[in-house]
Amino acid sequence: MLNPILGSVLLTLWVGVLSGPFAETPSVPVEAPPTAKVSVELYVMSKCPYCAQLMEELGPLLEDLRDHVDFRVGFVGSEVEGKLSAMHGETEVAGNLLEICMQRLHGHALPSFLRCMGRNLRAIPEGWESCATAAGADVKAVRDCAGGDEGWRLLRDSYRESSARMVRGSPTLFIGGVQYQGNRSRDSLLRKICGAGASRAPQCQDLAPIPRVRAVILSDRRCADCRAGYWRSLLERTFENLDLTELDYGDPDGKALHTAAGKPLLPAVVLDASVDAFAKGSTFPFKDRLQEQGNYRVLAMGSKFDPTAEICDNGIDDNGDRKADCRDPTCRNSISCRPEKPGELSLFLMSQCPFAARAMETLPEVLKATGVREVRLHFVVSVDHDGQMRSLHGPEELAEDRRMACVQKNTPAKSLAYASCRMRNPRDPVWEPCATEAGLNSVTVASCADGAEGERLLREDAKLGSQLGIQASPTWFANNRYPFNGIQAQDVITKYCAHNQKRAACRAFVPKVERENP
């Protein structure tokens, strides 16, 4: 039964849909005549978790359709002065070499090999022999290929091919020569392969109808940063049979839906229970992000706008407490209401972010040029609806964030020395040598980082970053008021000095403005 509060809303939006059965669509769209085999090309990185998720759905399907598909993998990486590299480091290059050699020598066994490797990504390339043996491959032949000139040549050519095809992300999938951007469930992939020319395959006969998913994008026209278009594009790529409506909080229907959905931050996507069938799939992109609110499922990842709160820079009393903008207590921590502190410089980062590592390399030049003596570090982390802290690069990054936060709190004079040392090799799990190099007691650092103090410090940064709307690493913050991005030293110096023109050190970096004399 539908929520009675939203009866009038849904009657207008979804009449004849919510109360009835799912709409049906043709089981196999007629896109191309049957051909001998359909090309399925997958560009990957061997340690990419999204590739592993996709192969759990695609792998068994490829094995079922082996007589109807021509499957091959390509790799995303780079070649610099004859050296091959990959996003996740040298171990990923080794994994890439093994996988491309498996394709060269035992292409029929490639799907099962990829699935096996993907189930223990962090171990790659260790343990690959058991995966090769299980796939029925010649272990010695694969080892010789991966360790020799042939493997290097194959991977180099694959990198060049992916670059020529403008492939930048992993995984990138082409079916029948056309890039696939739809749902990565087995059924969706099967429908696409069938429609691309494999319709004679037994698996393509009598396909089940595509369930209809109903969704509303709820936004607010007062919110300058609410990107409803991003959600629209994402939903359209995810669901093949989508009934999508957009509502504004300023409309009565929008307010009613906002209340019924638990008053989420905006923009939010409100779906009905029809999405539950998709949420069970391993490749569903929002699997861990759906929040159940009665008859509804709410997505508000990264949303920050509270439509019931005071907007701190529009000159209007938005929440009716007779205190507009910065006079309202809820605006105390907003950027526009923060007190300006000339000369101050802070840096928000993720401790395993390669771009933040490059920014840290330029820090000595920035400090020398600007005359800044101290830079306070903050960490870009988030807190889920269940209260768990998360960081983009996983638990190891959270652990390092806590160590850096503890060093900054308890021994601030040694903070930048320790952080700079760690970020020379951000993913190295051995951190104690950097503590020694910075003159720190590693036992003391670990005691703080692994205890309540480290947790508290990181949650404070999570709250601050959320209040300031900071999500990117690195993000600089000048004078307690002005966020900006930059990696190269001259870029950081120029942007910092634009807010500190009175500092003697900054006079050479403030661009002169030409003007006409009347």
What are the structure tokens assigned to 72, written together? 């091959």
- Taking the CA of residue 106 as centre, how many other CA atoms within 13 Å lie in the half-sphere pointing to its CB? 23
Cα four-point dihedral sign 311, 317, 318, 319: positive
What are the structure tokens assigned to 337, written together? 């209401």
Contact yes or no for 389/459 (Cβ under 8 A): yes
Stated as kind and residue range, the H or E segment containing 63 is helix 49-64
Rounded CA gap, 159 and 86, in Å? Answer: 10
Rounded CA gap, 47 and 92, in Å? Answer: 6
Q: Which residues contact 254 (CB under 8 A, 6 or more apart)?
A: 218, 247, 248
**Positions of the chain with pLDDT lower than 50, given as ranges:** 1-35, 512-518
Rounded CA gap, 298 and 259, in Å? Answer: 12
Q: In what order do the strands lie in the sheet with 475-478?
A: 376-379, 345-349, 475-478, 482-484
Q: One-letter amino acid identity for 153? A: R
User: Rg of the chain's alpha carbons, rounded to an integer?
Assistant: 27
Rounded CA gap, 382 and 390, in Å? Answer: 5
Rounded CA gap, 167 and 506, in Å? Answer: 42
3-class SS of residue 221: coil
Rounded CA gap, 428 and 119, in Å? Answer: 22
Q: One-letter amino acid identity for 389? A: M
Contact yes or no for 86/96 (Cβ under 8 A): yes
Residue 306, pLDDT score? 86
How far apart, in Å, are the Cα atoms of 353 and each of 87, 96, 349, 422? Answer: 11, 22, 7, 11
Tokens 């610099």 sit on residue? 80
- Spell out the domains of the chain, with CATH numbers in brackets: 4-17+212-299 (3.40.30), 38-204 (3.40.30.10), 345-506 (3.40.30.10)
Per DSSP, the residues of 236-254 read: HHH-SSEEEEEEETTSHHH
Contact yes or no for 112/60 (Cβ under 8 A): no
